[in-house]
Amino acid sequence: MHKLQNKMLIYVILISVLPMLLVSFFYYNNKIDKVNEQLNDESKVIMERLDRVINLKTNRLQNTVDILFNDRELQRLLRETDLYENSEASAENQKRLGQILDKIFKVEQELETIVVFFKKGGVHVSGQPLLVNDPVRFKLEYGAAGDRPGVISWVGTRGNILSGTNNKNIVSGTVLRDNAYLNDMEHLADVYMIFSSTFFEYEDTATMPAADNIYGKDTQQIYAYDKNVNLIYSTDALYDNNILSKMPLNVTQTVYDSESGNFDVTVEGKKFMMVYYTAQSTGWKFVRTVPYSLYKEKCTYIIYVTALTFVILFALWCLLNYFIVRKIVAPIQKIVQAMKNVEDENLDVVLKINSKDEFSIIGKQFNSMVVKIKMLLDRVQKEEQKRKESDVLMMEYQINPHFLYNTLAAIRIKALEGDQKKVAEMLLILGRFLRKTIVSCTKMICVESEVLNINDYISLMQLRYNNRIETKIEVSDDAKRLEIPSMLLQPIIENAVMHGLADRIDADQPAYLNINVTRQDDCVLMSVWDNGRGMTGFEKEKILEELSLSDISNKEHNHHIGLKNIHNRVKMMFGDDYGIDIQSTLGEYTKVTVKLPVIFENSDL
């Protein structure tokens, strides 16, 4: 009933789903692109500001270093001071050296320690003491202070290297040469300046944009690398969390080969969104890592919004289409239901379609067609009933003369033999038999009555053949009161005796005739078995082929008129599922079975 409606809904939905999915797909991709664009813009803002801070503070530090390191007194002290000498002059020089270096602490508040390695040997430390007692190990770890005299070189960060503080430290260095002797520029000392990690942070965080306020957070980190991939600065609190050092070389190469970009990376099982940017002032590479979970949260939110919007629009679209399709399909459903009623032989159906379109015309034409079909069926049924009654009556008449001829022929033989007593007995039985069958106008009789008729007919046969046929009749109890057409088994018994047992009777051999009536589910099976000559498979198939021919007037196929009449009579009365079946083996037996429907006594056909 609803197949068409469902199909139309499915088609409409499928047609609409694809555009909706495409729109949702483009909407989602557009939003994801905006998230990536926002992430890149946000990172670029952060890194540009960090670049300006680094450039500003580096220039300021460079200016301070230029002023102090061009101080002739400082160069003199570095030239003349012997840290291994215990004289008053040496002590005075070291005190004065410390005073000059302390001026840098006043200018650079984030500066925590200055370490000076003299060319002559020895180390001078100003500010916070080193965490490592041996300053030489410090120099071995950080390497050279630089290769350009008086120019700040950023060595990088190695975590906390000062005692008494938990801050991560950033180290810069420079090489100091003697400017008093322009010709030789003698190497005087290597100077290392150790800053707190706050050196590169904003001085006024209150005015910092929200996107920039990421310092100190564990979720997002910023790393600054020099041109040699040395980590200069990091917001990461972990000592060894150098993000580029944990990535494949091709990733590092990609970062250094392009100015900026972003991609996904996985480090130690954690997925990040990495954004990198090249500082314009220093050429350093800034790398920002955002945990993929944060990026995924934004993407998930977009997915949820997209999916929810799609579901809502889809539901509204389906609801709207449901009512539209239902309005279109409703007349079709009425037509289908009316046609099913006609199919179920209900011709009283009236199709009502209250519309002003083509369906209304179809409804009127359908009603007119049903009325005409009803009239035609009534006419056909009446004509069919008349034809059926005429055909059945004709077959009954065909059976009776045939039977009478054969029976009278047998009585004639006895009369010629001079056996008047048997002739009289046969005529008595024949009269009784005719009174019960031919004279009676009853078309259906119970099985018990048919068995009595069969007994009379067999008695006629026994008189003719001097009781040389051994007969056995078996009827099941559940079949005795069932009704069957009259005169049904007589032609079969006649064929069994005349064509099957005649040779055995003439040869004075045992002749057996068994008649069996049983009920099997919703069928009645009536069989006649004889141990006569039997027949070949070809003969049996030929007989069955003749039985299938409905034209009993065809003279080319009238050798088994009795069987044909019974077969056609049964099929005409009860349908093609019923009729005669034959089983036979040459020289052994023949069994003819009639299959009938179960009809209880006094019931209507």
Q: Which DSSP string corresponds to 69-113?
A: HT-HHHHHHHHH--TT--SHHHHHHHHHHHHHHHHHHHH-TTEEE
Mean pLDDT, residues 131-157 taken together: 78
Burial class (CB in 10 A: 0-12, 13-18, 19+), 390: exposed
From first CA to last CA, the distance across the chain in angstroms is 35
pLDDT above 70 (res 146): yes
Most confident range, picked from 107-121, 299-313, 338-352: 107-121
pLDDT above 60 (res 557): no
Q: DSSP 3-state assignment of 398? A: helix
Angle between helices 447-464 and 420-436 (to 10 degrees): 160
Distances (CA, A) of 306 to 231, 237, 311, 320: 41, 38, 9, 21
Give me the percent of the chain exceeding a pLDDT of 90.
Answer: 8
pLDDT tens digits, residue range 485-532?
887 888 899 889 888 898 888 888 999 999 999 999 889 999 999 999
What tokens does 169 get?
């430290």
pLDDT above 70 (res 399): no
- pLDDT grade for 551, boundaries at 50, 70 and 90: low
* Residue 587, CB-side half-sphere exposure with 13 Å CA sphere: 0
CATH of domain 384-597: 3.30.565.10
Indicate the domain borders of the chain: 23-296, 384-597
- pLDDT grade for 594, boundaries at 50, 70 and 90: very high
Per the model's pLDDT, the better-predicted residue between 239 and 568 turns out to be 568
Would you state the pLDDT for residue 555? Answer: 46
pLDDT tens digits, residue range 88-139?
877 888 888 888 888 888 778 888 888 888 887 788 888 888 877 777 777 7
Task: Please state which of the ranges 8-12, 250-254, 340-344 shows the lowest mean pLDDT.
Answer: 8-12
pLDDT above 70 (res 183): no
Q: DSSP 3-state assignment of 285? A: strand
Helix (H) or strand (E) holding 518: strand 511-520
The torsion angles phi and psi of 300, rounded to 5 degrees, stand at -60, -40
Give the list of residues 6+ apart from residue 429 with CB closer than 8 angstroms, or none. Answer: 456, 459, 460, 463
Using CA atoms, how far apart are residues 360 and 330, in angstroms rounded to an integer? 12
- pLDDT grade for 217, boundaries at 50, 70 and 90: very low
Would you state the pLDDT for residue 475? Answer: 93
Mean pLDDT, residues 199-228 taken together: 59
CA proximity to 525, closest of 512, 515, 510, 536 = 515
Would you state the pLDDT for residue 181? Answer: 59
Using CA atoms, how far apart are residues 115 and 46, in angstroms rounded to an integer? 32
- pLDDT grade for 215, boundaries at 50, 70 and 90: very low
Helix (H) or strand (E) holding 234: strand 231-234
Mean pLDDT, residues 227-243 taken together: 72
Mean pLDDT, residues 245-253 taken together: 81
Task: Output the pTM of the full model.
Answer: 0.46
Using CA atoms, how far apart are residues 450 and 313, in angstroms rounded to an integer? 78
Using CA atoms, how far apart are residues 45 and 210, in angstroms rounded to an integer? 11
Per the model's pLDDT, the better-predicted residue between 127 and 399 turns out to be 127
- Alpha-carbon 275 to chain mean position: 40
Give me the chain's average pLDDT, please.
77
CB 528 within 8 A of CB 487: no
Would you state the pLDDT for residue 583? Answer: 93
